[in-house]
Structure 1
């Protein structure tokens, strides 16, 4: 499975309190997201405000996309949500 991540900015999803970002899995777009809780707990987001979440995402993009890539491999390229608990157990 070939997985890559376009360098576009993440999108804030207020109802889910999460940031969404795309992955290309074998040339098809797959939605990935990371929760505000994960960004606050593991990547230093100061709050669940959009600006704070985006700042934390940008500062830790490499770690976040690596985690998304691992999870995409585990689930066969289906959409993934990175929750705080994932980072507690994957590190």
Structure 2
């Protein structure tokens, strides 16, 4: 399975309090997202404000994409939502 992440800006969804970002899985676009809570709890977002969430995402994008890649590898071409609880057990690497 080929997985890549286009370097497009993450999109803020205030209704769901997530940042969405795309993945390309075997030439098909798949929606990925990370919750604001995960960005606060694990990636240092100062608040739920869009600017703070985007800043935390940008600083930790590679690690967030690595986690999304792992989930996509497990579930295939399905949308991924990264919750705070996932990162409690996800093995973070430098």
Q: Calculate the TM-score normalised by the size of structure 2.
A: 0.95
- Counterpart in the other structure of 1:76: 76
TM-fit CA distance, 1:90: 1.3
Kindly report structure 1 stretches of 4+ aligned residues shifted beyond 2 Å: none
Q: SS in structure 1 opposite 2:31?
A: strand
Q: SS in structure 1 opposite 2:6?
A: coil
RMSD, matched Cα: 0.5
- Counterpart in the other structure of 1:35: 35
Q: Calculate the TM-score normalised by the size of structure 1.
A: 0.98
- Counterpart in the other structure of 2:4: 4
TM-fit CA distance, 1:73: 0.6
* Higher helix proportion (structure 1 or 2): 1
Tell me the number of residue pairs that the alignment of Structure 1 and Structure 2 aligns: 91
